[in-house]
A and B are shown apart, each in its own frame.
Chain A
Amino acid sequence: MKLNINGKDQEYAGEEDRPLLWYLREDLQLTGTKFGCGVAACGACTVLVDGQATRACVTPAASLEGKKITTIEGLDTPAGKAVQQAWSELDVVQCGWCQSGQMLAATALLTTTPKPSEQQITDGMTGNVCRCATYHRIRGAVARASEIMG
């Protein structure tokens, strides 16, 4: 089975129930996608599947044939680039473990809602946990990314 990851076809021959997260991390060494909870409760493993924020820890790799999978390593859309620039400008990161997932969630939000209200930012981002509690800066960075996108 072929999986399209960051624009490149990859042959997947693993177990049917194996989550995408572990295929990315252990087989492809795409370690920017992080393990946080394993039960879709924290968002550290967020990737984009056809542009939709998706939890890689509970999504079997084998269910994604024919879909376009984007990880932090392949984030090159205007929204994605704006998000990374804003995250840098505001020095959002602390430990950094959750931030790939945060940036992909923000990218998905800004792709559908380029000018989000404060409430829309909170609604779009509240599924992603940050134990360093960088939420205050994430809010600012999503707004800044929206500004960069113009």
Chain B
Amino acid sequence: MADTASFTPSRRLVLTVMGIGAAGFAVGCTVGGATASGPVTQSALGDYVRVGSDNTITVYLRHIEFGQGVSTGLTTIVAEEIDADWSQMRFEHSPADNAKYGNPAFGGMMGTGGSTAIFSSWQQLRAAGASAREMLRQAAARKFGVDASEILLVKGKAEAVGKSATYGELAAEAAKITPPDPAALKYKEASAYEFIGKERDSTKSFGRLDTPDKVHAKAQYALDYHPEGTLVALLARSPKFGGKVASFDDSAAKAVKGVTDVVQISNGVAVVATDFWAAKKGREALKITWDDSAAETRSSDAIFADYKKTFAKSGHEARKEGKGASALRGAGEVVTADFEFPYLVHAPMEPLNCVIEYKRGTSATIHSGSQMPTGDQAAACAVLGLKPQQVTIVTMLAGGSFGRRGTPDADLVTEAAQVAKAVNGKAPVKFMWTREDDIRSGKYRPMSVHRMSARLDKGAIDYWGDTTAIQSIMEGTPFLPPGAVDTSSIEGGFDIPYAIPNIAVDLHLVKAPTSVLWWRSVGHTHTAYAKEHFLDVLAKKLGKDPVAYRRELLAKEPRLLGVLNLAAEKAGWGTTLPAGKFRGVAVHHSFSSYVAEVAEVSVNADGTFHVDRVVCAVDCGIVINPDIVRAQMEGGIGYGLSAILGEALTLKDGAPVQSNFYDYTPLRMAQMPKVEVFMVQSTEAPSGVGEPGVPPIGPAVANALLAATGKTYAKLPLGTKA
């Protein structure tokens, strides 16, 4: 999802209260605000918080929990304002309903992405928590026969005049209270926080809410849902992107014990069977002839060469400072480098899947771990001829995503619904992707080439040029108006924050049959690398220290400067390292947060290298859960490092070369550095942490290697040797 830095919650709140009788009461609210794509004018009413008569407080998540910690983060905000005891907090995924659960940062559509969960929910959930608190206070006042001002609320209880009642005991009464005027709501002072900004302490029961179930195998993911009689479906897709089924022979597949159906759908031929193993053997027995007339036939090297050919003409001007590109000519030294970035696969540990229970012409229920549940609902409606109210989406926990489960074309649910329709809904259909499907079937981080250029004059960078060729992710989706240029492709590049007198950033959007998608930190995955590594290449030529030079160029960027200085200090920048060890630094702003990372890399006599330690400084505004921020930085560093060390999806004659984790190689424990995370103390509104840890790690490592060898590392992945 593209950066949505311009989102600012307004103070306009709309509250609703739902009496739910003996079960308790619920509070919802929505916050109007402006997004990157325009103002949100709806006054949608969501139901976000429910206080049960069983004394539980449930927060309904409009965002999916796929590891990033929203089930704890969003719940913490409510727990704080409602004055809960942490042990009574629960979470559930909300139903698919844009009107109630739309994300203001997504133009009101439900969606998880762009590191927006905390950012877009902060004000809304504080208001929901504070409203519920005031209603509980009023309920207690009635019950105790005292003035509301005498009620003390603490850890899930109301107390006054020697009397005490739990929130559960007050819930039914609270449901009758008129909600307070949102404009009059008072929020806690930060100094009184019990949960926000507090360290996890699992022995005192304050930690991730999803930990117990995940440790004790009780967590339920979509792939774990397996109702009686479920049939498993696997789809045979074209080996080359853009290929179509010409004809197929399913006689051998149908002869496999357990195979019940073989059906052709839009993207290939599906084998349906009583269990996974039968479906897999059935799919292997299919004989399909493919029509490759519109398919990709190039190999990766040829695609890179084609991308570079686009540079002969000028592209879309995304940024111009001073004299722009004409400033390449002039006094001093010109430096250029072509940076090449491969396709990357998200490869979440739980392969894509969903379970669809379709009753012909009547209804469908879909269990799925989706980032865009209402988009999936619409896709199912389109395939099955149903209305939204007939299609129930049950959002399950997801085993990772990194962007892959947020598809504007709802590819997974569309294919699943086509299969369910083809078998007339005779049984629940579990539509599965294998790991090979995941690696070989697309929606990759797009390949790209950045042609970096600079002119150095009088001991400084006088001109900075960054020309990129890349496939657009957003073109043709609802996230980009028709005719608009998808500059999210170079987010983090066109907005380069360094004070350089002449800058030119331009963009060449290319078309290709291979499908692409946002991958954890999206455009920043490559722009940060090109920007930060090229800067070090130039700093070296200028004889400048990488940290000192960045400080010079970021003098007017206090938050970037803040994380840079914090990371440099904690990493001991400038102190002597043992022989064979080198440091590299990178700093980057993405998704409204600021991160600097210093990598310490050992380079061995045989040229192999290892990233030993990473010191990370993050400024994400007010920190809700320090340990989840830490976890996201650790994980972001590992995910980014995985890609720059060893991940590439390459094409040969239009077909992916890699198949599974033996040749698309993820980071393993032996490669994981020690990570230290430091947070800037801030009173700014909280911003996201799911993605911003990723962009700086690649260039920080490349810059350490540059310090070791003097080389420019322009082709990714880096591999094992310096």
Contact B276 A73 (CB under 8 A): no
Contact B660 A91 (CB under 8 A): no
Contact B68 A100 (CB under 8 A): no
Report A137 CB to chain B, min CB distance, Å. 7
Using Cβ atoms and an 8 Å threshold, which residues of chain B touch A136? 634, 638, 672, 674-675
Using Cβ atoms and an 8 Å threshold, which residues of chain A touch B224? 25, 31
Is A135 at the interface (CB under 8 A from chain B)? yes
Is B341 at the interface (CB under 8 A from chain A)? no
Is A96 at the interface (CB under 8 A from chain B)? yes
Cα distance A32–B675 when bound, in Å?
A: 29
Cα distance A96–B635 when bound, in Å?
A: 13
Report A72 CB to chain B, min CB distance, Å. 4
Cβ contact of A91, chosen from B226, B436, B631, B662, cutoff 8 A: B631
Given known contacts A31-B226, A93-B210, A95-B348, is B275 in contact with A133 (CB within 8 Å)?
Answer: no
Cα distance A127–B635 when bound, in Å?
A: 18
Using Cβ atoms and an 8 Å threshold, which residues of chain A touch B642? 131, 133
Using Cβ atoms and an 8 Å threshold, which residues of chain B touch A132? 67, 349, 400, 635, 638-639
Cα distance A18–B277 when bound, in Å?
A: 6
Given known contacts A91-B200, A91-B207, is B660 in contact with A125 (CB within 8 Å)?
Answer: no
Report A43 CB to chain B, min CB distance, Å. 10
Cα distance A122–B669 when bound, in Å?
A: 6
Using Cβ atoms and an 8 Å threshold, which residues of chain A touch B220? 31
Using Cβ atoms and an 8 Å threshold, which residues of chain B touch A72? 216-217
Using Cβ atoms and an 8 Å threshold, which residues of chain B touch A121? 669
Cα distance A98–B399 when bound, in Å?
A: 8
Cβ contact of A97, chosen from B221, B637, B662, cutoff 8 A: B221
How many chain B residues touch the partner (CB < 8 A)?
63
Contact A137 B351 (CB under 8 A): no
Contact B669 A91 (CB under 8 A): no
Cα distance A84–B399 when bound, in Å?
A: 19
Is A44 at the interface (CB under 8 A from chain B)? yes
Cβ contact of A133, chosen from B217, B232, B351, B634, cutoff 8 A: B634
Cα distance A44–B666 when bound, in Å?
A: 14
Using Cβ atoms and an 8 Å threshold, which residues of chain B touch A94? 67-69, 400, 631, 635
Contact B67 A96 (CB under 8 A): yes
Using Cβ atoms and an 8 Å threshold, which residues of chain B touch A55? none
Contact B634 A134 (CB under 8 A): yes
Using Cβ atoms and an 8 Å threshold, which residues of chain A touch B278? 15
Contact A15 B277 (CB under 8 A): yes
Contact B277 A19 (CB under 8 A): yes
Using Cβ atoms and an 8 Å threshold, which residues of chain A touch B669? 121-122, 125-126, 128, 135, 138-139
Is A129 at the interface (CB under 8 A from chain B)? yes
Cα distance A75–B66 when bound, in Å?
A: 25
Report B542 CB to chain A, min CB distance, Å. 35
* Chain A window 16-47, contacts with chain B (Cβ cutoff 8 Å), 1 for yes, 0 for no: 01110010011001011011111101101000
* Chain A window 57-95, contacts with chain B (Cβ cutoff 8 Å), 1 for yes, 0 for no: 000000000000001110000000000100111111111
Is B354 at the interface (CB under 8 A from chain A)? no
CB nearest to B216 among chain A residues: A84
Contact B397 A96 (CB under 8 A): yes
Contact A37 B435 (CB under 8 A): yes
Is A103 at the interface (CB under 8 A from chain B)? yes
CB nearest to A84 among chain B residues: B215
Is A107 at the interface (CB under 8 A from chain B)? no
Contact B349 A130 (CB under 8 A): yes
Using Cβ atoms and an 8 Å threshold, which residues of chain A touch B674? 136
Task: List which B623-651 residues lie within 8 A (CB) of chain A.
Answer: 627, 631, 634-635, 637-639, 641-642
Contact B211 A42 (CB under 8 A): no
Contact B661 A41 (CB under 8 A): yes
CB nearest to B207 among chain A residues: A91
Contact A99 B639 (CB under 8 A): no
Name the residue in A42, A92, A132, A137 with the highest tally of chain B Cβ atoms < 10 Å from its Cβ: A132
Cβ contact of A41, chosen from B203, B397, B401, B662, cutoff 8 A: B662
Contact A26 B275 (CB under 8 A): yes
CB nearest to B663 among chain A residues: A41
Cα distance A29–B277 when bound, in Å?
A: 16
Task: List which B50-80 residues lie within 8 A (CB) of chain A.
Answer: 66-69
Using Cβ atoms and an 8 Å threshold, which residues of chain B touch A88? 202, 207, 211-212, 215
Is B458 at the interface (CB under 8 A from chain A)? no
Cβ contact of B208, chosen from A19, A93, A98, A126, cutoff 8 A: A93
Contact B639 A34 (CB under 8 A): no
Cα distance A135–B216 when bound, in Å?
A: 19
Report A63 CB to chain B, min CB distance, Å. 14
Given known contacts A88-B202, A103-B215, is B275 in contact with A37 (CB within 8 Å)?
Answer: no
Given known contacts A91-B211, A129-B668, A132-B639, is B349 in contact with A97 (CB within 8 Å)?
Answer: yes
Using Cβ atoms and an 8 Å threshold, which residues of chain B touch A125? 669
Using Cβ atoms and an 8 Å threshold, which residues of chain B touch A31? 217, 220, 223-224, 226
Is B715 at the interface (CB under 8 A from chain A)? no
Cα distance A72–B216 when bound, in Å?
A: 7
Given known contacts A39-B660, A97-B350, A133-B638, is B667 in contact with A29 (CB within 8 Å)?
Answer: no
Given known contacts A131-B347, A139-B669, is B434 in contact with A93 (CB within 8 Å)?
Answer: no
Report B408 CB to chain A, min CB distance, Å. 22
Contact A131 B257 (CB under 8 A): no
CB nearest to B401 among chain A residues: A95
Using Cβ atoms and an 8 Å threshold, which residues of chain B touch A128? 668-669
Given known contacts A38-B435, A88-B211, is B400 in contact with A133 (CB within 8 Å)?
Answer: no
Cα distance A68–B72 when bound, in Å?
A: 37
Is B548 at the interface (CB under 8 A from chain A)? no
* Chain B window 383-410, contacts with chain A (Cβ cutoff 8 Å), 1 for yes, 0 for no: 0000000000000011111100000000
CB nearest to B670 among chain A residues: A126
* Chain B window 315-350, contacts with chain A (Cβ cutoff 8 Å), 1 for yes, 0 for no: 000000000000000000000000000000001111
Contact A96 B634 (CB under 8 A): no
Using Cβ atoms and an 8 Å threshold, which residues of chain A touch B217? 31-32, 71-73, 100
Name the residue in A17, A32, A37, A71 with the highest tally of chain B Cβ atoms < 10 Å from its Cβ: A37
Task: List which B130-189 residues lie within 8 A (CB) of chain A.
Answer: none
Is B309 at the interface (CB under 8 A from chain A)? no
CB nearest to B350 among chain A residues: A97
Contact A133 B350 (CB under 8 A): no
Using Cβ atoms and an 8 Å threshold, which residues of chain A touch B661? 36-37, 39, 41-42, 129
10 sampled A-B residue pairs with Cβ under 8 A: A19-B277, A25-B226, A35-B350, A95-B350, A95-B399, A97-B350, A97-B399, A121-B669, A129-B668, A131-B639
Q: List 4 additional contacts besides A133-B642, A136-B634; criterion CB under 8 Å.
A: A25-B224, A87-B215, A97-B400, A132-B638
Q: Which 10 A-B pairs have the closest CB atoms?
A: A133-B638, A97-B399, A32-B217, A95-B67, A96-B214, A94-B67, A135-B672, A31-B224, A97-B349, A41-B661
Interface, chain A (partner B; CB < 8 A): 15, 17-19, 22, 25-26, 29, 31-32, 34-39, 41-42, 44, 71-73, 84, 87-100, 103, 121-123, 125-139
